Amino acid sequence: MAMPTLTSRREFGALLAANALSCARSEPPLNVLFIASDDLTSTLGCYGHPVVKSPHIDRLAAQGVRFDNAYCQFPFCGPSRASLMTGLRPDTTGVVTNRNVDFRKQHPDAVTLPQLFKNNGWRSMRVGKMFHMGVPGGVGTMTHQDPPSWDVSISPPGDEHESVGVGGDPNPDLRHGLKMQWVQTADATGQADSAAADTAIDLLHESADGPFFLGLGFVRPHTPFVAPSNFFDMYPLEEIELVQNPMDDLDDIPAPAKNLRPFLWHQMGMSEENQRISLRGYYASISFMDQQVGRVLDELDRLGVADRTIVVFFGDHGWHLGEHTHWQKMSLMEESVSAPLIISAPGMRGAGRSSKALVEFVDFYPTLADLCGLEPPSNLEGVSLAPVLDEPSRSIKDAAFSQVQWEDRIYGRTVRTDRYRYIRWEGDGGGEELYDHSNDPREFTNLALDPQHSGVLASMRARLERGPMSPTA
């Protein structure tokens, strides 16, 4: 018998991998723990941040695949969550603001991600912020949490900016939820995230026999920055470094980008001391949230169900921390539209590795359906990431798309490829941005203004116009 060729060996290896994946989807059904963190950018130890301490999320990354190029479809809570929970892009959901987040107005018969699991016999549970929930005002309320998606739906209350402790407010003229207010509390009493972890642990005990889908939404590090004092103590002010930007950084950024939410630029008017205080509050909030993640992951281990539970951890969009003098979200630059994503799935060969593949939040839904052997709705606008979980060096698409809109006045769209980011603006004079990530990963130099890059600019314009396409081979 002839020896197999290299090609056939590869095919044989692929067949083995496919069989392993098939076994991973067989009985007993896999559980899903779907963890969202609000306003979290990639400031985590596992993403190489030199200061932030996130040991429990780092542990999850060591067990799963860390995605380094994951992009939300809209850098704002309501539109982003409506998109990822339905598997549909914002143009399809019709949700492009935080004021009108009811995707069922246009899609009354939509089957959401948790609803798919509910319809197929999983116990579908929600604790905390999964769909849009205003922070701090909506914390503890049931508004917008889409009852058809859940068998169990719980919104733990939280004291938020009224928490008792030492605090401050560098932006007193802004409303709650926008101001960079911070509070150091004596302990975790009265905090929605610690209550969410408590409730999630109780639900895991009730549901350990499975199968279950548990959506667990933490509100930190969304403002106000509230955490016990010991988490603030992790970050001495004198050791916190501010982001450095070129003096002329804003000169080549089009007007609509800066007019989208102008009060978020120019360091929000904060002194350098208040910028350090704000960074400390953000970091402390992350470490507090990380502790709650760890408590829930530990419970999976204690209950003996970790080896049959898919865990997804993500930030609902990115967040500026002074890059380009901008804070918070609502830009189309890298810091705002990229966010952390970690997926740990039983039986996948990529465990413990990272992936540079371009992925989008609309990919969450088809991925979990694929891993659990469920037939998703035919209208989903993402693709399964299962091939990347099995081989993290693989690519499944050549571009990621995000968009933003403000008050029917300013519209922006961006496409990110392996090398370039292109942004197109309409309203307030319009404009374009083009950045070469191979030479300018922090997007300081807008090449759309450089005639030498006219060919690249034309190509990226065309890629944006073509929009999302089929997965790459």
**What does the pLDDT read at residue 17?**
42
Buried b (16+ CB within 10 A) or exposed e, 134-165: bbbebbbeeebbbeebbeebbbbebbbbebeb
Query: Is residue 402 pLDDT above 80, yes or no?
Result: yes
Backbone angles phi, psi at 223, to 5 degrees: -65, 150
- Domain residues of the chain, as ranges? 29-391
Identity at 371, one-letter amino acid code: L
Predicted confidence band of residue 9 (pLDDT cuts 50, 70, 90): very low
Backbone angles phi, psi at 299, to 5 degrees: -70, -35
Distances (CA, A) of 81 to 39, 249, 314, 364, 448: 12, 31, 11, 11, 31
Q: Reduced to 3 states, what is the DSSP secondary structure of residue 123?
A: strand
Identity at 178, one-letter amino acid code: L
Partners of 121 in the beta sheet?
Answer: none
Which superfamily is assigned to 29-391 in CATH?
Alkaline Phosphatase, subunit A (3.40.720.10)
Report d(CA 188, CA 295) in Å as an integer. Answer: 13
pLDDT tens by residue, 53-89: 999 999 999 999 999 999 999 999 999 999 999 999 9
- Considering the chain, what is the average pLDDT of its residues? 94
**What does the pLDDT read at residue 21?**
46
Token pair for 303: 């209950």
Report d(CA 248, CA 352) in Å as an integer. Answer: 40
**What does the pLDDT read at residue 471?**
46
Query: Is residue 20 pLDDT above 70, yes or no?
Result: no
Report d(CA 288, CA 60) in Å as an integer. Answer: 16
Report d(CA 454, CA 451) in Å as an integer. Answer: 5
Backbone angles phi, psi at 368, to 5 degrees: -70, -35
> Residues 295, 196: contact at Cβ < 8 Å?
no
Token pair for 77: 């809570």
Cβ neighbors of 297 (< 8 A, separation 6 or more) are 56, 59, 60, 306, 311
Least Cα distance to 132 among 72, 79, 192 occurs for 79
Distances (CA, A) of 78 to 151, 163, 181, 330, 367: 22, 25, 22, 12, 22
Give Cα 193 to chain centroid, integer Å.
Answer: 17
Token pair for 156: 């733990």
Least Cα distance to 342 among 53, 58, 131 occurs for 58
Percent helix / strand / coil, the chain, rounded to 5: 35, 20, 40
Query: Is residue 5 pLDDT above 70, yes or no?
Result: no
The mean pLDDT value for 22-38 works out to: 80
DSSP 135: T
pLDDT tens by residue, 109-138: 999 999 999 999 999 999 999 999 999 999
pLDDT tens by residue, 382-401: 999 999 999 999 999 999 99
Predicted confidence band of residue 27 (pLDDT cuts 50, 70, 90): confident
Buried b (16+ CB within 10 A) or exposed e, 187-218: ebebbbbbbbbbbbbebbeebeebbbbbbbbb
Q: Classify strands 341-344 and 65-71 as parallel, antiparallel or unpaired.
A: antiparallel
Cβ neighbors of 215 (< 8 A, separation 6 or more) are 34, 36, 114, 124, 125, 126, 127, 130, 150
pLDDT tens by residue, 311-363: 999 999 999 999 999 999 999 999 999 999 999 999 999 999 999 999 999 99
Q: Reduced to 3 states, what is the DSSP secondary structure of residue 48?
A: coil
Cβ neighbors of 311 (< 8 A, separation 6 or more) are 32, 33, 35, 60, 64, 297, 300, 342, 343, 344, 345
Q: Residue written as tokens 């016990």? A: 228
Query: Is residue 308 pLDDT above 90, yes or no?
Result: yes
pLDDT tens by residue, 168-205: 999 999 999 999 999 999 999 999 999 999 999 999 99
The mean pLDDT value for 19-25 works out to: 44
Backbone angles phi, psi at 329, to 5 degrees: -105, -155
pLDDT tens by residue, 217-270: 999 999 999 999 999 999 999 999 999 999 999 999 999 999 999 999 999 999
